[in-house]
Amino acid sequence: MSEQELKALRVRIDSLDEKILELISDRARCAEEVARVKTASLAEGEKPVFYRPEREAAVLKRVMERNKGPLGNEEMARLFREIMSSCLALEEPLKIAYLGPEGTFTQAAAMKHFGHAVISRPMAAIDEVFREVAAGAVNFGVVPVENSTEGAVSHTLDSFLEHDMVICGEVELRIHHHLLVGENTKTDSITRIYSHAQSLAQCRKWLDAHYPNVERVAVSSNAEAAKRVKGEWNSAAIAGDMAANLYGLTRLAEKIEDRPDNSTRFLMIGNQEVPPTGDDKTSIIVSMSNKPGALHELLVPFHENGIDLTRIETRPSRSGKWTYVFFIDFVGHHRDPLIKAVLEQISQEAVALKVLGSYPKAVL
Ligand SMILES: C=C(O[C@@H]1C=C(C(=O)O)C=C[C@H]1O)C(=O)O
């Protein structure tokens, strides 16, 4: 390619950038107008609702449907995710609490869902994220709920039994773990490997094969593991890219998770009900009386009405020994007439039924 051609292309890019800049600014002004309209139409004492997850899901879906390339759909949606995040911040910067410290996968999930134009606060424990949302100190919280290799995150499920929360979104993240060391680490004298218990479990086979005699130490998060390694010469950490970059660690081995499709699902929790989008999921908690056939009775209405169950989890109910509650996720919105009828049918048999929320299926 000649210098001349390159120059002409760069002139063209500059002129396109100017147009993009103008269009983004136009869009941002529209968002400001939306905020004005939302505020003007309020009744006395009513609070405006700026963040609309159902609208954001529709915007991202539309982008993906109309995209003709060469950028991929996910890539394009990610760019629009950030534009929307900045536009919303003009209306109201969202405050988000997540399971910290900085550098956790939960932080990455929060950014994937809300974009980067938010005020985010790391919390030391899952229960603290719930409490921060309940106290109204933040708009939303982000917590892990299940991993494709290791299963349920029981702290999260148990927190739903203790707090009244509305689930308003979900996000899935591919989880890649690396073995990380600091600049002072003597890599042939590693005697300890730190990580979160879930991550140690997700890399169990790899550790058995490569470091069978090294002590595995479970700490409160992967980011905490990375932080500890920084100052020690005989230890390594298992953590992801965010933590590796944050603490400036070197990847001694990459992508060491036992299953290549290792993914974690996260939930966005808040106080706001989300209207139907036509492509939603619902999460409920049900407790049944402890009698033969109780679980069968619970599942029949779903089966008979062709409702797609995406997950079922059992936890001790905490209100009696050997009594259980079921966490169920299924496709549909609790305001859909069919789902409404099914939930009514179940509540006639159940000791208690609580809808935790209906929310758009993850777009990104
Ligand atoms: C602009 C709005 O407010 C927010 C910003 C959006 C956007 O930038 O597209 C979409 C939904 C809301 O979270 C709206 O409600 O339409």
Q: What is the reported pLDDT for 291?
A: 83
Looking at the whole model, is its pTM more than 0.90? yes
Q: What is the reported pLDDT for 293?
A: 86
Q: How confident is the model at residue 324 (pLDDT cuts 50, 70, 90)?
A: confident
Q: What is the pLDDT of residues 155-178, one digit of tens each?
A: 999 999 999 999 999 999 999 999
Atom of ligand 1 lying closest to residue 55 CA: 11
Q: How confident is the model at residue 289 (pLDDT cuts 50, 70, 90)?
A: confident
Q: How many CA atoms lie within 13 A of 161 on its CB side?
A: 17
Averaged pLDDT for residues 313-325: 82
Q: Residue 257 is encoded by which pair of tokens?
A: 């998770």
- Asked whether the CA dihedral 116, 119, 121, 127 is positive or negative, the reply is negative
Asked if residue 89 has its Cβ within 6 Å of ligand 1, the reply is no
Mutation to probe ligand 1, out of 56, 79, 118 (largest number of atoms < 8 A from CB): 56
Centre of ligand 1 to C-alpha 85, Å, is 9
The DSSP symbol for 39 reads H
Averaged pLDDT for residues 298-307: 96
**β strands within the chain, DSSP E:** 95-99, 119-123, 140-147, 151-152, 166-174, 178-181, 192-196, 215-219, 235-239, 250-253, 263-270, 280-287, 309-316, 324-331, 352-360
Averaged pLDDT for residues 233-258: 95
Q: How confident is the model at residue 64 (pLDDT cuts 50, 70, 90)?
A: very high
Centre of ligand 1 to C-alpha 19, Å, is 22
Cα 248 to Cα 53: distance, rounded to the nearest angstrom: 35
* CA-proximal residue: ligand 1, atom 10 (nearest): 56
Asked if residue 34 has its Cβ within 6 Å of ligand 1, the reply is yes
Cα 196 to Cα 6: distance, rounded to the nearest angstrom: 50
Cα 278 to Cα 184: distance, rounded to the nearest angstrom: 54
pLDDT score of 319 more than 70: yes
Centre of ligand 1 to C-alpha 32, Å, is 10
pLDDT score of 186 more than 80: yes
Atom of ligand 1 lying closest to residue 59 CA: 9
Say how many C-beta atoms besides its own lie within 10 A of residue 49's C-beta.
10
Q: What is the reported pLDDT for 93?
A: 92
Asked if residue 54 has its Cβ within 6 Å of ligand 1, the reply is no
Asked if residue 160 has its Cβ within 6 Å of ligand 1, the reply is no
Atom of ligand 1 lying closest to residue 53 CA: 13
Averaged pLDDT for residues 26-48: 93
List CB contacts of 361: < 8 A, sequence separation 6 or more: 57, 170, 279, 280, 281, 331
Averaged pLDDT for residues 288-304: 90
Q: Are 51 and 168 in contact (CB under 8 A)?
A: no
Averaged pLDDT for residues 133-158: 94
pLDDT score of 316 more than 90: no
pLDDT score of 223 more than 70: yes
Averaged pLDDT for residues 11-21: 98
Q: Which residue has the higher pLDDT, 218 or 292?
A: 218
Atom of ligand 1 lying closest to residue 34 CA: 1
Asked if residue 118 has its Cβ within 6 Å of ligand 1, the reply is no
The DSSP string of 238-303 is EE-HHHHHHTT-EEEE----SSTT-EEEEEEEES------SSEEEEEEEE--SSTTHHHHHHHHHH
Averaged pLDDT for residues 243-265: 95
Asked if residue 280 has its Cβ within 6 Å of ligand 1, the reply is no
For the chain, list the domains and their CATH numbers: 49-174+262-272 (3.40.190.10), 178-261 (3.40.190.10), 273-360 (3.30.70.260)
Residue type, 154: S
* CA-proximal residue: ligand 1, atom 13 (nearest): 51
Mutation to probe ligand 1, out of 91, 139, 359, 363 (largest number of atoms < 8 A from CB): 91
Q: What is the reported pLDDT for 323?
A: 79
Asked if residue 88 has its Cβ within 6 Å of ligand 1, the reply is yes
Three-class secondary structure of residue 348 per DSSP: helix
Average pLDDT, the chain: 95
Exposure string for 51-80, b = 16+ CB within 10 A, e = fewer: bbbbebbbbbbebbeebeeeeebeebbbeb
Q: What is the reported pLDDT for 1?
A: 64
Asked if residue 52 has its Cβ within 6 Å of ligand 1, the reply is yes
pLDDT score of 275 more than 80: yes
Regarding an ipTM greater than 0.90, the answer is yes
Of the candidates 138, 44, 24, the one whose C-alpha atom is nearest the C-alpha of residue 92 is 138
Q: How confident is the model at residue 80 (pLDDT cuts 50, 70, 90)?
A: very high
